[in-house]
Structure 1
Amino acid sequence: MSNRTKLLILFILTIASILFFLLFKLGLHWEYLLTSWDQFTDDVAYAFRNRSNKILAMTIAGTAIAFSTVIFQTVTHNRILTPSIIGLDWLFLLVQTLLIFFLGGKNYAMISNEWMFLISIGTLVAFSIILFKIMLGKEGRSVYFLLLMGIIMGALFNSLSTFMQVLIDPNEFLLAQDKMFASFNNVQVKLLWWALGILIATIAIFFPLIRYLDVLSLGRDQSVNLGISYQRVVQITLIIVAILTALSTALVGPITFLGLLVVNVTYEIFKTYKHSILITGSIFVSIISLAIGQLIVERVFTFSTTLSVIINFIGGIYFIYLLLRGSK
């Protein structure tokens, strides 16, 4: 089976999963047909609008995570790494905890969703750019040196967040706890369009560089010999990774293992080095996973857990499997 055929099948499955999520048991209250047709149509319209917002959030977050993970693994030449290793997830939680700690729960709740979104993205991207500039500013420094510093900074952010969460009021701690897990249930509509605009603009800026990724996957020496400005392309790629990771994290919260899971599944489906196919396929797999996972959260677990918990559980097991398989 050719890669184009596989992409077509994945595209059909993506559309099917979206439609299934949107239409599954949409009209539950059929008793309104006997009493109030207007009430019935209003309920159906509200449910469809709510599900549409969720599926749009899944599409944005899934696309950002899949895209950033593929290009990040290409730059690092490692298929078991995700952008979260830089420490952006813990930095996001630290920013939220700092705001709660210094402003208090009431003032924190008064911050508009738009400002909170911009503060989160701005902080994460600014930290990433500074880290990249310091770690990769000198010629010859390895990307693995950046990853090591990212792990250390992530541990520091985690420790600071935990320390301040112990000090704040228990009621205010619940606000910080809500930010620890990704959720598609309370996404703001205005933020969706902001996030969609940033996503499209970021991918459009990086699009001309996608053709270099096939060469970058060969390694630093081969890329330089083939005439690619390796340091420049790597730095731009990492900045794009930071923007997309910050975007998905600020929109729905941290989903640590989603990128690792969907991208490695894509590698298993498509035995190719072409990133145009890998990126497209991983986006489709990501949207399918999120749509089906959210449906399971709502219909099977009845909102007793969050989608990020399920994904991190499955992704953690798959991560261990990849490590064991790699050791053999």
Structure 2
Amino acid sequence: MRRHPLLWLAAALLGISAAYLFWGLGGDSWRFVLGLRAGKLAALLVVGASVAVATVLFQTVAANRILTPSIMGFDALYVLMQTALVAGLGITGFALLPAGPKFLIEVTALVAASLMLFGTLLGRGGQDIVRTILTGVIFGILFRSLAGFLARLLDPNEYAVVQQASFASFSRVNAELLPWAAGLAGIGIAGAIRLAPRLDVLALGRRISVPLGLAHERMALLTLGLVAVLVSASTALVGPVGFFGLIVAGLAHGLTRDPRHAVLLPAAAMIAGVLLVGGQTLFERLLGLQSTLSVVVEFAGGMFFLWLLLKGRIR
């Protein structure tokens, strides 16, 4: 019975993906259009799966369902890195950076920073939710303040480049980065699925998991590293995505009613794909791109976050 939600989600994802690819397809240039749509579809699926799995993993380490990597400062650090690169290299130097090596350097920096910033989760911070939130919020504010300070030193053209990298756009996908991001996301998601039984034990908390034989600190560090890899893969493709992971993780818990990560992780990834592909289909085919999906996602995610706080459903 527990497999039924995954089967229904898989069928829904296949149907929505087919609609996105073939809706309104015709004319002599259908091969060209289909190629463009296929690349964008792949990017949406990579971003959705990366954000979903990263959020579930982060909530497992933090033992809290209102925390996401974006709330804790991951996206702010990414924006700071982009701003510093533009300020140091200029528009031309920034544009000439090789996309692949630049992406790998960003991933390495995010992984290293995540292990330092959220080391408090390995001690009392994993149980002290208030201290965990304050730590992430403070660092996030610090990164945003530094990025804002650097942005004031830029000329209008350089600032426009930074702004383009600071906001998510599901219509603008860097095709050159897609193989790199897909490869890293695949490694991260495969690693998370492989570690699913250990993640189930990790979710029990340090006091219970250590007597059960789990190397809690090492497992938490590894999980945070996977989170950083997945977040960097998604932000490199479309930009920072704030509250989307919170919505997806909440829906995965509600639909599956199963605490096992072997079920939660694929369910969250498929829910994210359904929402992103379905939303992009709606905005492109029916609304004519009169609005942007990222704005709706951020608004809905913010409302969902406030609802969780008001209801007290943080565990």
Task: Give me the TM-score of the superposition, normalised by structure 1.
Answer: 0.88
Q: Please tell me whether residue 67 in structure 1 is matched to residue 53 in structure 2.
A: yes
Relative to 1, partners in 2 of residues 1:91 and 1:140: Cα closer, same or farther, differing over 3 Å?
A: closer
Query: Which protein is bigger by CA-based radius of gyration?
Result: 1
Q: Is the 8 A contact 1:182 1:306 kept in 2?
A: no
Q: Please tell me whether residue 142 in structure 1 is matched to residue 125 in structure 2.
A: yes
Give the corresponding residue for 1:167: 153
Aligned positions of 1:197-212 closer than 5 A:
197-212=183-198
Bigger drift between 205-214 and 218-227 goes to: 205-214
Q: Is the 8 A contact 1:64 1:244 kept in 2?
A: yes
Q: Percent identity?
A: 40
Q: How many residues align?
A: 311
Q: Is the 8 A contact 1:117 1:251 kept in 2?
A: no
Q: Is the 8 A contact 1:113 1:188 kept in 2?
A: no
Give the corresponding residue for 2:21: 22
Q: Is the 8 A contact 2:193 2:261 kept in 1?
A: no
Q: How far does residue 132 in structure 1 lie from its aligned partner after superposition?
A: 4.5
CA deviations on 1:143-196 (whole Å, 9 max, x unpaired) are 355553332111111011112222211122111111121223332333211222
Distance (Å, rounded) in 2 between the aligned partners of 1:188 and 1:201: 20
Distance (Å, rounded) in 1 between the aligned partners of 2:115 and 2:207: 25
Q: Is the 8 A contact 1:181 1:306 kept in 2?
A: no
Relative to 1, partners in 2 of residues 1:100 and 1:304: Cα closer, same or farther, differing over 3 Å?
A: farther
Q: Please tell me whether residue 182 in structure 1 is matched to residue 168 in structure 2.
A: yes
Query: SS in structure 2 opposite 1:48?
Result: helix
Q: Is the 8 A contact 1:121 1:250 kept in 2?
A: no
Give the corresponding residue for 2:43: 57
Distance (Å, rounded) in 1 between the aligned partners of 2:83 and 2:305: 29
CA RMSD between the two structures: 2.1
Q: How far does residue 265 in structure 1 lie from its aligned partner after superposition?
A: 0.9
Give the corresponding residue for 1:37: none
Aligned positions of 1:125-274 closer than 5 A:
125-132=111-118, 135=120, 140-143=123-126, 144=129, 145=131, 147-274=133-260
Q: Is the 8 A contact 2:193 2:262 kept in 1?
A: no
CA deviations on 1:23-45 (whole Å, 9 max, x unpaired) are 11112x5xxxxxxxxxx1xx211
Q: Please tell me whether residue 295 in structure 1 is matched to residue 294 in structure 2.
A: no
Distance (Å, rounded) in 2 between the aligned partners of 1:284 and 1:86: 24
Bigger drift between 98-107 and 66-75 goes to: 98-107
Distance (Å, rounded) in 1 between the aligned partners of 2:313 and 2:103: 41
Distance (Å, rounded) in 2 between the aligned partners of 1:6 and 1:96: 39
Relative to 1, partners in 2 of residues 1:59 and 1:311: Cα closer, same or farther, differing over 3 Å?
A: same
Bigger drift between 59-68 and 97-106 goes to: 97-106
Task: Give me the TM-score of the superposition, normalised by structure 2.
Answer: 0.91
Distance (Å, rounded) in 2 between the aligned partners of 1:70 and 1:196: 19
Give the corresponding residue for 2:309: 323
**Amino acid paired to 1:19:** A
Q: Is the 8 A contact 2:83 2:147 kept in 1?
A: yes
Distance (Å, rounded) in 1 between the aligned partners of 2:302 and 2:132: 23
